[in-house]
Amino acid sequence: MRTVPEVHETFNDIESKFGLFDRTVAGVQYWERVRNDIYDNVCLSLGIFEEAGPELGSSWKDRFRGLYLLFRNVLVKNPYLTGDHDFLFYAHPRRKQRDDGTWFDLYTDPVLEGSNLDAVSVEYDHKLNHYTPPSTSLLRYTDFIEYLGTLYKMVSRYSIPETEVDYLKNAEQEFKEQFGVAVDLVGTVRDELAERQALLPLYDALLRRVDPEVAVLVVSYGKESFIEACQRRGVPVVELQHGSISKYHFGYSLPNNRQKVAFPDYFFTFGPFWRNRFDLPLDSENVYDVGYPYLEREADKVQDQEDIISDIGPQILFISQETIGAKLSKFAAETSELVGDEYSIIYKLHPDEYSTWETKYPWLINSPIEVRGPESDSLYELFAKADIQVGVYSTAVYEGLYFELDTYVVNTGGVHNIEDLINEGVVTSVSSPESFYVELKEGATAEYNPSRFFKSDSTNNVKQKLRSILNQERDSE
């Protein structure tokens, strides 16, 4: 099987050979908008990535659900019925439930809570649902906007010039020859440009209604039309880092230091490690290291609760994620057979695995492993109890480093994302349960400073930087 670095290099070679970044339709450089999806599809077809879950939107049930969300949004949490605000936050829709029953966005809500920022927050649905009640009264939905864009994409007769169709078909053939998989560049580009045509005026209307001085979002890739609308109205866009990024992440990494047209004006990182890892498609003076407010706050809570610290002996915590869950869970099951009672093993599911793990990972059901889902201790409580963590490349692995855990990564799809820390000795790569057991016996990994990954005083850092950007905008008016 080909590795991600190999696919990454070949993919970049095709982009360069066909000059895809410079290709335009109606003046729009479309490739930067679609390349991440194309890359993911190539990796899925090659078996490098596992399917993260069933595709939504293809069944009639899903389509009717989308229509329901669209029409409901006219009456419920309509973003066009809000007033003027200094900040427009575009939140992450996958929320976490708190003890009080409300649902919390890990990235934007810690900034909004307890602050006097004049702001409104919007979100699209997560798997055709919104988690209610949200923890903030500031939240509005963008279902009306997003699903009108989807409808237009489905029914419009948007066409690409024949010369461009022919060019993309030649590129499709190159992808076929290099990877042995079929990619629909023509259809993907057409859909993206059709959706953009519908979304731009809708987002422009939202910006006219809210009249923000600054927009703040989580996950910029996939929101290019929103960013373009902000650029047209002169609204600077700030992105809050939401997860692990590396030179292999096509949402952020562009070859040859290229700039991305539809990209935020500012990027707030978790810590200095991330800004130094690779070059973002952004001037370095607009990249700020601020920290991760949710992690810092929750870690302070669990580290203050001495009674949760386990005294039952060494504990190994496996951190799952859907794209590598089958391989990692088998690795955990085989490890449990090797270590016996010498270590206790916890397998922490990713939220998207809660309802499917018994079907997808049946080998865990009768194993001595403790499988933890939504009803269990929080991830940070598990970190506080654990001595060792095992994962591949999820953000949670870096969060475990914040708790100074001995860290091991399984050498499977995605481990390349953490190769720099492997080379430094901060984490140890293992290829089999047997080699993992040997490494456990040999001792801990290298020492490191957790603040390298997550800067301290994060909530104040974010608020101060946002206010600074706001003041810059006001001074320039």
Per-residue pLDDT tens for 300-349?
988 765 555 555 578 999 999 887 889 999 999 999 999 988 999 999 99
Look at residue 109 and tell me whether its pLDDT is greater than 70. Answer: yes
In this prediction, residues 361-368 reach a mean pLDDT of 94
pTM of the entire structure?
A: 0.91
Residue-wise pLDDT tens digits, 52-74: 555 566 677 888 898 899 999 99
* Lowest-pLDDT range of 49-63, 225-239, 292-306: 49-63
Answer whether residue 427 is part of any domain: yes
Q: pLDDT at position 119, please?
A: 97
Q: pLDDT at position 52, please?
A: 59
Look at residue 434 and tell me whether its pLDDT is greater than 80. Answer: yes
- Residue type at 436 in one-letter notation: F
372 phi/psi in degrees, rounded to 5 = -110, 130
Answer whether residue 175 is part of any domain: no
Of the pLDDT bands very low, low, confident and very high (cuts 50, 70, 90), residue 216 is very high
Same domain, 393 and 427: yes
* Closest to 470 in 3D by CA, of 229, 225, 265: 265
- Segment (H or E) for 230: helix 224-232
Same domain, 130 and 202: yes
In this prediction, residues 83-108 reach a mean pLDDT of 95
Residue-wise pLDDT tens digits, 452-474: 999 999 999 999 999 999 999 88
Residue-wise pLDDT tens digits, 142-186: 999 999 999 999 899 899 999 999 999 999 999 999 999 999 999
Look at residue 383 and tell me whether its pLDDT is greater than 90. Answer: yes
Q: pLDDT at position 418, please?
A: 87
Answer whether residue 15 is part of any domain: no
The total number of structural domains in the chain stands at 2
Of the pLDDT bands very low, low, confident and very high (cuts 50, 70, 90), residue 398 is very high
Of the pLDDT bands very low, low, confident and very high (cuts 50, 70, 90), residue 413 is low
Q: pLDDT at position 54, please?
A: 58
Same domain, 277 and 408: no
Segments forming the whole domain that contains residue 338: 305-452
- Do 8 and 248 form a contact (C-beta atoms < 8 A)? yes
Same domain, 145 and 99: yes
Same domain, 265 and 310: no
Same domain, 264 and 327: no
Q: pLDDT at position 256, please?
A: 86
CB-count exposure of residue 476 (10 Å: 0-12, 13-18, 19+): exposed
SS (H, E, C) 348-397: ECCHHHCCCHHHHCHHHCCCCCEEECCCCCCHHHHHHHCCEEEECCCHHH
Same domain, 280 and 421: no
Pairwise CA distance, residues 390 & 331, whole Å: 10
Q: pLDDT at position 160, please?
A: 95
Pairwise CA distance, residues 116 & 50, whole Å: 43
Answer whether residue 34 is part of any domain: no
Of the pLDDT bands very low, low, confident and very high (cuts 50, 70, 90), residue 352 is confident
Answer whether residue 19 is part of any domain: no
Q: pLDDT at position 373, please?
A: 86
Q: Is the omega angle on the peptide bond into residue 450 within 30 degrees of 0, that is, cis?
A: no
pLDDT averaged over every residue in the chain: 91
Same domain, 349 and 215: no
Same domain, 274 and 351: no
Q: 268 or 68, which is more confident? A: 268
Q: pLDDT at position 229, please?
A: 99
> Could you tell me the CATH number of the domain that includes residue 410?
3.40.50.2000
Q: Length of the chain, please? A: 477
Look at residue 444 and tell me whether its pLDDT is greater than 70. Answer: no
Same domain, 155 and 206: yes
Answer whether residue 278 is part of any domain: yes
Same domain, 354 and 256: no
Answer whether residue 18 is part of any domain: no
Answer whether residue 74 is part of any domain: yes
Same domain, 343 and 215: no
- Do 265 and 236 form a contact (C-beta atoms < 8 A)? yes
Look at residue 80 and tell me whether its pLDDT is greater than 90. Answer: yes
Look at residue 283 and tell me whether its pLDDT is greater than 80. Answer: yes
Look at residue 221 and tell me whether its pLDDT is greater than 90. Answer: yes
